């Protein structure tokens, strides 16, 4: 895997952890009235932006990992010796 892909995968994983932490902190600071949670307007927008960036980053992560998996499978089949016995005709 190239260094750019490694950095991207590390960034997305770190972003997911931090994003869930931020959402958890904001939701824990929300005010509850009549069994409903109320967020401040700025907090709600911030959580929405974090969630949308997370969705697109995770879609990108899935595509990067899928393409690298396909490339690894191609390399594996090219490097693997032939398992069938040779037909010599004798």
pLDDT higher than threshold 80 for residue 32: no
Q: What are the C-alpha distances in Å from 81 to residues 10, 77, 84?
A: 34, 8, 9
Tens of pLDDT, residue by residue over 40-84, are: 777 778 888 888 888 888 898 888 888 888 887 787 777 776 666
User: Would you say 8 and 57 are in contact if contact means Cβ atoms under 8 Å apart?
Assistant: no
Domain boundaries of the chain, sorted by first residue: 3-79
Strand partners, 38: 31
- 90 or 79, which is more confident? 79
Task: Work out the average pLDDT over 2-26.
Answer: 85
Q: What is the pTM of this model?
A: 0.63
pLDDT higher than threshold 70 for residue 36: no
């Amino acid at each position: 895997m190239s260094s750019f892909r490694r950095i991207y995968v590390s960034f997305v994983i770190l972003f997911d952890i931090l994003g869930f932490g931020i959402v958890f902190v904001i939701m824990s600071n929300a005010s509850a009235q009549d069994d409903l949670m109320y967020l401040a307007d700025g907090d709600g927008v911030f959580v929405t932006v974090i969630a949308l960036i997370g969705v697109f980053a995770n879609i990108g992560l899935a595509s990067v990992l899928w393409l690298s998996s396909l490339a690894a499978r191609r390399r594996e089949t090219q490097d693997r010796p032939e398992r069938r016995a040779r037909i010599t005709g004798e």
